[in-house]
């Protein structure tokens, strides 16, 4: 059976003399492994499509759950992300996180769109790496049904307004100051961080990185975003450790 789809290569490993096994996040089948025969030959027309971060229209042949690349047409290669180790390490983490939230065999167009938007922003330096990472983490959770609540108190239902509030990483809910008999899980968040989270989850994808935030609030957002994603993923990411290691380099 043939499948026509859009996909981005999130990992490539050499196979035999001239082939590659590609891990591909697709628009409609989640993450799949694709056997790309002969793509390491210089003469292969699909050389560029079979590289990490390459986004292409693909024609695949499927037999017994195994996919083979038949044809591909490159849409974007995000090649420059490979030139800077910090950009590269973050791109790897975004790819791994995106693929871990996609469900095998299921439609994953919104996750794919988010990943592409974030890689584009990273490549074109539309925002800082730290902010792209935070926004991606929160939006990814929201796209997958884990919407953090930052507008209303989970206990009394009152609007949080302009006060600081308490936020539960595990529950994804907020408490107002009056209801704040904080458990261990609750952390205090400045109101500006709540507003930023609302923007990241509610705005159109094209604008999800467009907001202003102070440096100190950005640092708080960064911590919350990462912990929120890790709590949803229920796992760690090697690529996240790699990114952090790279960020510490001079
Ligand atoms: Zn309350």
Centroid of ligand 1 to alpha carbon of 179 (angstroms):
4
193 CA to middle of ligand 1, Å? 18
Query: What predicted TM-score, i.e. pTM, was given to this entire model?
Result: 0.94
Last residue of a domain, one of 77, 110, 126: 77
The burial class, CB within 10 Å (0-12 / 13-18 / 19+), for 83 is: exposed
> pLDDT tens across 53-69, in order?
999 999 999 999 899 99
Instruction: Say whether both 243 and 195 belong to one domain.
Output: yes
Nearest CA among 161, 218, 168 for reference residue 191: 161
Please indicate, yes or no, whether residues 135 and 203 belong to a single structural domain of this protein: yes
Rounded distance from Cα 165 to ligand 1 centre (Å): 9
- Would you say residue 182 has pLDDT above 70? no
pLDDT computed for residue 184 by the predictor: 61
Tell me how far apart the alpha carbons of residues 64 and 67 are, in angstroms, rounded to a whole number: 8
Q: How many CA atoms lie within 13 A of 178 on its CB side?
A: 10
Q: What is the DSSP secondary-structure string of 212-242?
A: ---HHHHHHHHHHHHHHHHHHHTS--HHHHH
Residues 57 and 93 in one domain: no
Is 41 a domain residue? yes
69 and 103 part of one domain = no
In a domain, 132, yes or no: yes
Averaged pLDDT score across all residues of the chain: 94
Distance 160 CA to ligand 1 centre (A): 8
Q: Ligand 1 centroid to 147 CA: how many Å?
A: 19
Cα(136) to centroid of ligand 1, in Å? 29
* Residue 156: C-alpha distances to residues 52, 109, 153, 175 (Å): 48, 36, 6, 8
Tell me, yes or no, whether 111 and 24 share the same domain.
Answer: no
Both 86 and 190 in a single domain?
A: yes
Going from the Cα of 213 to the center of ligand 1, the distance in angstroms, rounded, reads: 25
Judge if 128 and 210 occupy the same domain: yes
Say if residues 98 and 115 touch (Cβ distance below 8 Å): yes
Task: Tell me phi and psi for residue 41, to 5 degrees.
Answer: -80, 140
Q: Domain boundary residue among 18, 48, 77? A: 77
Total count of domains within the chain:
2
Question: How far, in Å, from the CA of 245 to the mean position of ligand 1?
Answer: 40
Q: How many CB atoms lie within 10 A of CB 106?
A: 9
- H or E stretch covering 166: strand 165-168
Q: Which of 53, 77, 101 is the last residue of a domain?
A: 77
Asked whether residue 35 falls in the same domain as residue 109, the answer is: no
Report the pLDDT averaged over residues 202-213.
Answer: 95
Q: What is the pLDDT of residue 181?
A: 73
Q: How far is the CA of 227 from the centre of ligand 1 (A)?
A: 23
Ligand 1 centre distance from Cα of residue 199 (Å): 22
pLDDT tens-digit readout, 7-66: 999 999 999 999 999 999 999 999 999 999 999 999 999 999 999 999 999 999 999 989
User: By residue range, what is the domain housing residue 65?
Assistant: 2-77
């Amino acid at each position: 059976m043939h499948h026509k789809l859009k996909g981005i290569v999130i990992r490539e490993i050499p196979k035999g003399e001239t082939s590659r096994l590609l891990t591909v996040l697709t628009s409609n089948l989640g993450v799949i492994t694709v056997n790309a025969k002969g793509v390491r030959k210089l003469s292969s027309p699909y050389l560029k499509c079979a590289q990490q971060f390459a986004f292409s229209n693909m024609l695949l042949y499927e037999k017994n759950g195994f996919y083979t690349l038949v044809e591909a047409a490159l849409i974007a290669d995000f090649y420059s992300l490979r030139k800077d180790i910090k950009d590269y390490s973050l791109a790897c983490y975004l790819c791994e996180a995106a693929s871990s939230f996609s469900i095998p065999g299921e439609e994953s167009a919104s996750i794919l769109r988010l990943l592409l938007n974030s890689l584009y922003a990273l490549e074109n330096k539309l925002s800082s790496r730290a902010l792209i990472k935070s926004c991606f983490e929160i939006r990814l959770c929201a796209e997958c049904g884990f919407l953090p609540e930052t507008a209303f108190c989970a206990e009394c239902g009152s609007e949080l307004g302009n006060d600081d509030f308490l936020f539960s990483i595990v529950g994804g809910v907020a408490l107002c100051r009056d209801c704040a008999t904080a458990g261990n899980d609750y952390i205090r968040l400045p109101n500006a961080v709540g507003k930023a989270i609302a923007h990241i989850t509610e705005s159109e994808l094209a604008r999800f990185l467009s907001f202003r935030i102070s440096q100190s609030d950005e640092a708080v957002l960064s911590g919350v975003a990462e912990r929120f994603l890790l709590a949803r993923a229920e796992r760690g990411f090697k690529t996240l450790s790699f990114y952090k290691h790279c960020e510490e380099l001079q």
